[in-house]
Structure 1
């Protein structure tokens, strides 16, 4: 870990706890800052705050009082989940206080090579693939960010001859200043999180911020099949490494003669890849690029791609039961992810879907339901899903209380050879704290059959 004096004897306010807030608070305390933590949950119900209090860190719990800004803080570290519309955060910005997220702290102390990965979809799969490939090459690599351990916690331990692979959300990237990964990946850009961002433009700007501080010595791996994305990164000073599933490129990553190529070097035949779904080819191309730039051998890449069958909660094969195959795609919290999941299967499918109602319509899913023979719906969007299924001509649609009940109902509706797919197209927050919890309940119920 780099020795920095940026926060020595400085008053720093950490707003919002959970894993990232706790890790940031402890790191700042270690760096010599006078830390105050503010969290909405009352102290009596707040184990994280109680732990920090035991460490000698000041805590203010129960609300986000704007009056805290009168205490003369010099920096604010914001939990990514807290929106910029929060009155305390708005007030801080108005008076010119720097507001950062913990990934910025991670970068400031990091000594290792950092690979940063963002995009609307595919971040987790790409991050996991890169981690596995570098590890298979017997290099020391750590996975952090939205997947694995909090980035500023990992950054305290990695050394200059190691690699840190970080999955990054738009929420995190809105709060960076110096942050600069050696290799950056943007998997794709679609409309998402508009309940958090003020506009699509703000969302896209947050994503492309990953390359804001890159230099010609750094690399940006980017999806050239998206003209909008290519236009939005034209300011980048990084060396651009394009990838495409539809074009044969002079340089970069592409598919030719049913094989993946990197800079005109054949890496692996597509048919040898285990991970299902055409959408995953984008993730694989990006991961191969980051790995090749990290000196990983084709043998190591081959060993991963011929064995890796998916990330937990992302089109994850769970079990075959009486000739039915169950897949957990709980991480599909938006339309695009569910489209991709449905597009990956070409046999009769029973779709389990529904969740938080963000005001979206689901008509775009209609053309992807051609193989869906039945739907099991739940959550706030259940009625919208019923209407979607009816428009698509699906005759069997069952409404249940939640994902727990959906498994046995789907099993009853299914026949041998069917796919039973949990791909909600919605966030989980109407019934579950995270998509992981929702997916784990699904897995548990499948294994009980």
Structure 2
């Protein structure tokens, strides 16, 4: 990479990590992001690695580069990338060049964060040092700065990241499921599926489930017939969907040739993932679960089906443009849920489709939804939005933290 002209397009978490690594490697770096440079929120960090005159707004530059490192939030169809003849890599592809351990790569529409987290916990508890990163929030380009060598690299990969892969190779690649999602990015469902299937390129072993619309090479497992030689009485994370996640982990460990009995002994220590059906212990009159990571209907339907009794659901967020209608799912929601509190940009459209003001309360704001839910005295409150967070929050983490603080009575 020394002296190679590299442009980093998008200066979020992954872009900043790529910048740090490329600076270490002596690349000739230019960075591009949205908005006026002087107003970039992380400009101070960026200027540690590249001079101000090499920072540009995407509206004021024409690319002159040998390589583009593309943020997952930016499509390869962006006008700035039109007709360029140089490689376009994700931050994952760049980080891969500096990895010295076998990679376990996991994708899927739902469950990938939980699966990656639990697999990392199990490996570490077994004494196998694991770096857990990717779409989960820790960029792969952070790994070269680790002080110790990992025995395994466990990566959560999104369809966005998988769009820009070239030579990335994994020891085990797994797809948990694929259902309609990211209508704002993909014109057709087949395009989304195709992006997910990029994970199969160059992998040594491929594992997929019956919830993936794919027929081809690899090991297919049936999630309707789960068979594990483990005693699951110590596995305390709720929901059938988490048993499915665990089954995929079981099969990955089996492919790796690791001691399954030793892995079984770690189950009691597993704690789950923040903002994915996370139980909140509080003085709220209802039992509360924070499922703020939900950005699609399947995730929310899974959440409400994992709890018994009276359920109150907080639903809504940023419109996607495709797959937003609640009508195909309304009967299933009404089967499980007593009342819905609608929030976000989707409030009015969902309320019109539901057409029942007693069942669906238009709240718009999260604070109002929680105030309305507080009037109920028995049952479970689930915050599982089914839509992206960007209408009112920076990301799903900020959304989840805001919900937890409100439930706990914190300002």
Same fold (TM over 0.5): yes
Alignment of 1:172-321 (within 5 A): 172-214=161-203, 218-226=204-212, 228-229=213-214, 231=215, 234=216, 236=217, 240-247=218-225, 254-255=226-227, 260=228, 266-269=229-232, 272-321=234-283
Question: Which deviates the most, 319-328 or 11-20?
Answer: 319-328
Equivalent residue, structure 2, for 1:25: 19
Q: How many residues align?
A: 406
1:74 paired with 2:66, answer yes
* Whole-angstrom distance in 2 between the partners of 1:20 and 1:326: 32
Q: SS of the residue aligned with 1:12?
A: strand
* Root mean square deviation, CA, Å: 2.2
1:409 paired with 2:372, answer yes
More relative contact order, 1 or 2 (CA 8 Å, 6+ apart): 2
Equivalent residue, structure 2, for 1:118: 107
1:36-76 Cα distance to aligned partner (Å, 9 max, x none): 111123222224334333434453333344x522x3x1111
* Whole-angstrom distance in 1 between the partners of 2:211 and 2:401: 34
Q: SS of the residue aligned with 2:230?
A: strand
Equivalent residue, structure 1, for 2:329: 365
Equivalent residue, structure 1, for 2:55: 60
Structure 1 residues 272 and 159: alpha-carbon distance in aligned structure 2, compared to 1, 3 A threshold: closer
* Whole-angstrom distance in 1 between the partners of 2:367 and 2:54: 38
Residue 14 of structure 1 contacts residue 78 of structure 1 at CA under 8 Å; is this kept in 2?
yes
Residue 130 of structure 2 contacts residue 151 of structure 2 at CA under 8 Å; is this kept in 1?
yes
Cα deviation for residue 383 of structure 1 reads 2.0
1:263-309 Cα distance to aligned partner (Å, 9 max, x none): xxx1234x543121222222111122223334543354334433434
Residue 89 of structure 2 contacts residue 164 of structure 2 at CA under 8 Å; is this kept in 1?
yes
Q: Where does structure 2 lack aligned partners over 5 or more consecutive residues?
A: none
Structure 1 residues 145 and 158: alpha-carbon distance in aligned structure 2, compared to 1, 3 A threshold: farther
Cα deviation for residue 113 of structure 1 reads 1.4
Residue 347 of structure 2 contacts residue 364 of structure 2 at CA under 8 Å; is this kept in 1?
no
**Residue 35 of structure 1: which of 24, 29, 34 is its match?**
29
TM-score by length of 1: 0.85
Cα deviation for residue 320 of structure 1 reads 4.8
Residue 78 of structure 1 contacts residue 101 of structure 1 at CA under 8 Å; is this kept in 2?
yes
TM-score by length of 2: 0.92
Equivalent residue, structure 2, for 1:45: 39
Cα deviation for residue 369 of structure 1 reads 2.2
Structure 1 residues 123 and 161: alpha-carbon distance in aligned structure 2, compared to 1, 3 A threshold: closer
**Residue 377 of structure 1: which of 339, 342, 347 is its match?**
342
